[in-house]
Structure 1
Amino acid sequence: MHHPQWQRTHGLQGMLAACSLAILLAIPTTSAAEPRTYRIDPDHFAVSFSVAHAGYADVIGQFLEASGEFVYDEARQELMSGSATIQAASVFTNHERRDEHVRNSDFLDTERFPSIEFVADTLTDIEGQRGRLSGDLTLLGETHPVTLEVTLNKAARYPFGHEQHTLGISATTTLERSQWGMDYAVDNGLVGDEVDIRLEFEAIRQPPE
C-alpha cells in the first residue's frame, strides 16, 4: 500500500510533466517547414555566358552586377517566388571594343534596356539536390519562358564572415538569343545563336519577418 505522501508527491510530478508536455507542443520547432526569404550575396554571385564566334572558338563573358532574392521552404524543397536582375551594361568579355559592341543595339542595347530580368515560377523534377527551375526571362523588352537546371550544392551555417545559414546554388541553361530579337550575325554564322548561361551564387537566409 502506497504512503499518502508518496501519492501526493508523484501526483504533483505527473501534473508538472503533463504541463511541460503541453508547453513543448505549443512551441514551434525550427525543424518545421517554413518558407523563408533568401537574398543573393552580391559578393558571391557570378553570371557567365559563352557563345560561338565564327566557328573558331567560344567567346566567354560575364555580367559583373546582379542582384536577387527568393522565398523558399527548404524542408519541403518548395519555391514560393523569386527574381533576379542583371545590369546589362556590366557585361565583360575581356575586350573593351567588343564589350562596347555587345552593349550597343546589335546585341544588348543597354541604353534602351538597362536590365535583364528573371522571374521564377516553379521548382520541379526534384531528385536529391537537383531540380528544374522554370520562369520568365525579360531581355530587350521581350519576355519568354526559360528553364534552368539547378543544383543545391550546400545548405549550412556559413563558417566565417556573416555566419548565417546559406544556400550554395549552381544553375545552367541554354538560350537562343534570336528568340528575344537579338539576331545580329546569326544568318551568316559569325556569332552563334545559342548562348550557354551559367550561374553560381550563395544566398543568405534572412531573419523571419
Structure 2
Amino acid sequence: MNKQLLAGGLIALAAFTSTVKAADYKVDVEGAHAFIDFKIKHLGYSWLLGRFNTFDGDFSYDAKSPNDAKIALEIDVKSIDSNHAERDKHLRGKDFLDVKSFPKASFVSKSIKFSDDKNAVVTGDFTLKGVTKTITFDVEKIGEGKDPWGGYRAGFSGSTTLTLADYNITYNLGPASTYVEIGLHIEGIRK
C-alpha cells in the first residue's frame, strides 16, 4: 500500500512539474504602465501619433523557458486618441475603424521565439475591424524584478507595421498613408 501511495505521489509530482508553465502576469493598465500607440504618415508630409487609452490583457513568461511565453490583449478601439477630437470622431467612423460595428480589436500570440535573453519574435493573430490576420513583430524584454510594493513585474516593448487595406481600411490619404506602425509597451504584475 505504501509503495502504491509513494508511486502515485511521484507520478502526480512528475505530472505537476511537467505542466508547470511560466508565471502569469496581468498587464498593468490600472497604474498606466502599459501603452499601445500608433504612428501613421499624414499625406506623406508628417507623422500623426496617437494611442489607444483603453485595453487589457494578460501574459505568461518565465526566463527559464521564455519560448513558452504567451500574450493576449483586447483593445477598446473607441478609445483611440490622436489628441484631436474631430479627427478621433472621423477615425471612429466607417471610413476607418467603424467602432459601432467593430468595438474591439485583439491580439493572441501563437508563438514567441527568443533569440537570446532579451530579444524575441512574436507571432499571433491580430483582429481589427472584423478581420483576423497573422502578424509577426520583434519584441525586446525591458526587464523584470521586484517592485517597491511587494509585487513582481516584467516588461516588454515591440512594434509592427500593419497595412490598412488588410483590415478593410481603404480611405485614401495618399500612398504614404497606407500603413500604420503599432507599438506595444507592456508591463505586467505577476498574479
Q: Same fold (TM over 0.5)?
A: yes
State yes or no: 1:180 paired with 2:158.
Answer: no
State yes or no: 1:196 paired with 2:181.
Answer: yes
Task: Give the aligned residue type for 1:199.
Answer: L
Check conservation: 1:45, 1:66, Cα contact below 8 A. no
Structure 2 residue runs without a partner (length 5+): 1-12, 14-19
Change (3 A) 1:104 1:51: same
- TM-superposed CA distance for 1:199, in Å, is 1.4
Greater C-alpha Rg = 1
State yes or no: 1:134 paired with 2:129.
Answer: no
Match for residue 103 of structure 1 among 92, 95, 99: 92
Match for residue 143 of structure 1 among 126, 132, 135: 132
State yes or no: 1:84 paired with 2:73.
Answer: yes
SS state at 1:100 partner:
helix
- TM-superposed CA distance for 1:126, in Å, is 2.1
- TM-superposed CA distance for 1:80, in Å, is 4.8
- TM-superposed CA distance for 1:34, in Å, is 4.2
Change (3 A) 1:114 1:191: farther
SS state at 1:102 partner:
helix
- Output the TM-score relative to the length of structure 1: 0.77
Match for residue 62 of structure 1 among 51, 66, 69: 51
Q: Following the alignment from structure 1 to structure 2, what is the Cα–Cα distance between the partners of residues 163 and 204?
A: 10
Match for residue 158 of structure 2 among 141, 156, 171: 171
Task: Give the aligned residue type for 2:178.
Answer: D
Q: Following the alignment from structure 1 to structure 2, what is the Cα–Cα distance between the partners of residues 109 and 191?
A: 22
SS state at 1:44 partner:
coil
Q: Following the alignment from structure 2 to structure 1, what is the Cα–Cα distance between the partners of residues 47 and 133?
A: 25
SS state at 1:122 partner:
strand
- Output the TM-score relative to the length of structure 2: 0.84
For residue 75 of structure 1, what is the aligned residue in structure 2? 64
Structure 1 moving runs of 4+ over 6 Å: none
Task: Write out per-residue CA displacement over residues 97-147 of structure 1, whole angstroms, 9 at most, x where no aligned residue.
Answer: 000000001101001111111011111142230110100000010100111
State yes or no: 1:120 paired with 2:105.
Answer: no
Check conservation: 1:53, 1:190, Cα contact below 8 A. no
Give the number of aligned pairs: 171
How large is the RMSD of aligned CA atoms in angstroms? 1.7
